[in-house]
A and B are shown apart, each in its own frame.
Chain A
Amino acid sequence: MAAVGARLLLRPGRRWFSETAPGAPSPPVSPLYPPVVASITAKSKVAKSRRLQRFNQRVHEAATVEEKLRLYGKLQRPKYTVYPQTFALNADRWYRSFTKTVLVPGMPPRAAAAKPLVAAAGATPEGGRAPEPAAEAPEAPESAAGAAPSLDMSELRSLACDAILQESFYQNKKRPLLYRDQDHTPGPFLTQLVSTLAAFLSGRNPLLAASSLDLNPEVNYYWHHGEEVVVHGHRKGRVDPVRFQIDDNPHLQIRVPKQLPEVVPLESDLGDVPVIDHKPSKLPLFKKQYENKVFIGSKVADPCCYGHTQFHLLPDKLKRERFIRERLEDQIEVVYRSNGIASLFAWTAAQAMYQGFWSEADVTRPFVSQAVVTDGKYFAFFCYQLNTLALTAETIKNNPRKNICWGTDSKPLYDVVEDGNVKGFNDEVLLQLVRFLLNRPKEL
């Protein structure tokens, strides 16, 4: 009894006979019980949010980017397949609402990009242009383009015409197969044009010299946007995020080791994002379950991990004559726009994921890429700036940032090819293409 009493007295924590000086800080005592929080395995909203938090924690703490991508796309569920080249009506409005993109007509102000164009001209014209305000910059390159690369303009024009004539006139080709018109002439012409122009301009643009040109690459991206209630099946009644996947095969792609400079600051607001209340299946868009892939065209370890320019070729199903025959003239431009927006969003977002950003860890710098959508004769130019990846239901609530896409209407490069001559060659289109290829960060 006495021994028990003595043991009771000697147990730590019982301070009846010890003297502690008043005011002295007591040593930090670790709590006796773990913190009281909601359950993880229960069938409740709190448990679901705790599970989501645990998953987000796991992805945040992943050591490598490959591990992050693996965890991000691990759970497979039915998702909407978004096709950039689609016949659906008014698809570009829907795609803008899925990707939170603002469409700005015309090309972005090229005050910074115009200077490299004149780098070849010499120091004096450039020194005279540098203090000019940005509003006058678009005019100055016109005159400078007339002065310095005017010889180059003729060279570039001859390069382009050579490519056109080689594919359509000089070479003896059999008749194209049924619905294979695009692979017959415009496809090889585009490849030839881009590779020769890139090789020619790589002397001017060291970024192009260090770039990597992909032929028929694959670009994939998987994301969540919005919420819906599951309608059929054993998961009926649960609230799920709406999942999307883009699987795109551009005709050509240029990847570079350094990122293109931002066009406008990260938090700029240049317009409104269309809000569509209806389900995406009304577009029509269909659900399928397969691998959730995020890919820019090369794996993560590739040094050329940023995008420069993509070139898309529209398929036979979406040619102009078909739309004109069905009296849907306004859908011609929609096709170009939807292709530009969807492909560029997928590419820039995949580039951002390769750098470790994702919907819970939003991008800290904007990702810029360019694209040219063509059907062989008509060219449309797009420039995309990715400002935010946070499109899920929770992260979009307090996110004022919007992605921005600048796009032009489609313009013909030439009118017709007759007897070894290219009639009606359009210099502006070629100039815009050259400007795109010469775009590079300010340091270079």
Chain B
Amino acid sequence: YPLFQRGGPQLRIFRPNFFMLAVRPGVPQPEDTVQFRVSMEMTKLDIRNYLERIYNVPVAAVRTRIQYGANNKRNHRNQRVKKPDYKVAYVQLGQGQTFQFPNLFPEKEQDSETRSFDDFRDKFMEKEKQKQEGDPRRGGVPDWFGL
């Protein structure tokens, strides 16, 4: 490839090796704010260009912070185990768009078979537990106690 100078033809294209992970915010965020975990080397400008050029998402503002991963846990050799650090980006969307993190594990509608099976299973477990316990008239005293 010939050496690139400004204004010349772009023969090589570099795709970013970054990844952005959209996460559910731990604390409630305003409607236009999306929370991402990004690579530690990304800057606010990088995040803005990434979203605008690759995904065509209008970005109004980006704020970042670095979350320090704790170093308190110990393994079986009493060495400290560090949780990795990561960068969190709060992106405010432009043009009045809003975003709500979806519920990834919705409760599935149970059909009558599974419901009756669950009921049967619960009743069976209750009966087993009652068999394990002794006579209720003894008030919890074990059966080997006595004359």
B interface bracket (residues with beta carbon within 8 Å of A): 10 to 19
Q: Which of B82-131 contact A (CB under 8 A)?
A: 92, 94
Smallest CB–CB gap between B8 and chain A, Å?
26
User: Does any Cβ of B come within 8 Å of A174's Cβ?
Assistant: no
Q: Is the interface of B mostly helix, strand, loop or mixed?
A: loop
Contact B29 A282 (CB under 8 A): yes
Is B2 an interface residue when CB atoms closer than 8 A count as contact? Answer: no
User: Is the CB of A278 closer than 8 A to any CB of chain B?
Assistant: yes
Bound form: Cα–Cα A282–B28 in Å: 9
A89 touches B92 (CB 8 A): yes
- Contact B92 A278, beta carbon cutoff 8 Å: no
Instruction: Provide the residues of chain B in CB contact with A328, threshold 8 Å.
Output: 60, 94
CB A80 to nearest CB in B, in angstroms, measures: 16
Q: Could you say which of B28, B29, B58, B61 contacts A89, with CB atoms under 8 Å apart?
A: B61
**Cα(A116)–Cα(B58), bound, Å:** 50
Say whether chain A's binding surface is mostly helix, strand, loop, or mixed: loop
Asked if A277 is an interface residue, CB under 8 A from chain B, the answer is yes
Residues from 50 to 104 in B contacting A, C-beta threshold 8 Å: 58, 60-61, 63, 92, 94
A40 CB to nearest chain B CB (Å): 35
Q: Mark B19-47, 1 if CB is under 8 A from A, else 0.
A: 00000000111101100000000000000
Question: What is the CA–CA distance of A276 and B33 in the complex, to the nearest angstrom?
Answer: 14
Q: Which residue of A lies closest to B25 (CB)?
A: A282
Cβ of B30 and Cβ of A282 under 8 Å apart?
yes
Task: Please give the distance in Å from B99's CB to the nearest CB on chain A.
Answer: 14
Known: A282-B33, A327-B94. A277 touches B60 (CB 8 A): no
Complex Cα distance, B95 from A331, in Å, reads 11
Tell me how far the C-beta of B75 lies from the nearest C-beta in chain A, rounded to whole angstroms. 28
Q: How far is the CB of B90 from chain A (nearest CB, A)?
A: 8
Total count of chain A residues near the partner, CB < 8 A: 12
Q: Given that A282-B33, A284-B63 are contacting pairs, would A277 and B28 also be in contact in the complex, using a CB cutoff of 8 Å?
A: yes
How many whole Å from A242's CB to the nearest CB in chain B?
A: 15
Whether the pair A278, B60 counts as a contact (CB closer than 8 A) is no
Smallest Cβ-Cβ distance to B28: which chain A residue: A278
Residue of B nearest to A94 (CB): B30
- What CA separation (Å) do A356 and B92 show in the bound complex? 42
Cα-based distance from A319 to B92 in the complex (angstroms): 20
Are B60 and A89 in contact (CB-based, < 8 A)?
Answer: yes
Within 8 A of B (CB), among A238-282: 276-279, 282
**Hey, which chain A residues are within 8 Å of B30, CB to CB?**
276, 278, 282
B59 vs chain A, min Cβ distance (A): 9
Q: Closest residue of chain A to B61, judged by CB? A: A89
Q: Which residues in B have their C-beta under 8 angstroms from that of A88?
A: 61
- Pick the residue among B29, B58, B61, B94 that contacts A278 (CB under 8 A): B29
A327 CA / B60 CA spacing, docked (Å)? 8
Q: How far is the CA of A331 from the CA of B92 in the complex (A)?
A: 13
Which residues does chain A contribute within 8 Å of B32, judged by CB atoms?
A: 89
What are 21 sample pairs from A and B whose C-beta atoms fall under 8 A apart? A88-B61, A89-B32, A89-B60, A89-B61, A89-B92, A276-B30, A277-B28, A278-B28, A278-B29, A278-B30, A279-B27, A282-B29, A282-B30, A282-B33, A284-B63, A326-B60, A327-B58, A327-B94, A328-B60, A328-B94, A331-B60
Besides the contacts A278-B30, A284-B63, what 13 more A-B pairs have beta carbons closer than 8 Å? A89-B32, A89-B61, A89-B92, A276-B30, A277-B28, A278-B29, A279-B27, A282-B29, A282-B30, A327-B94, A328-B60, A328-B94, A331-B60
Closest 3 CB pairs of A and B: A282-B30, A278-B30, A89-B60
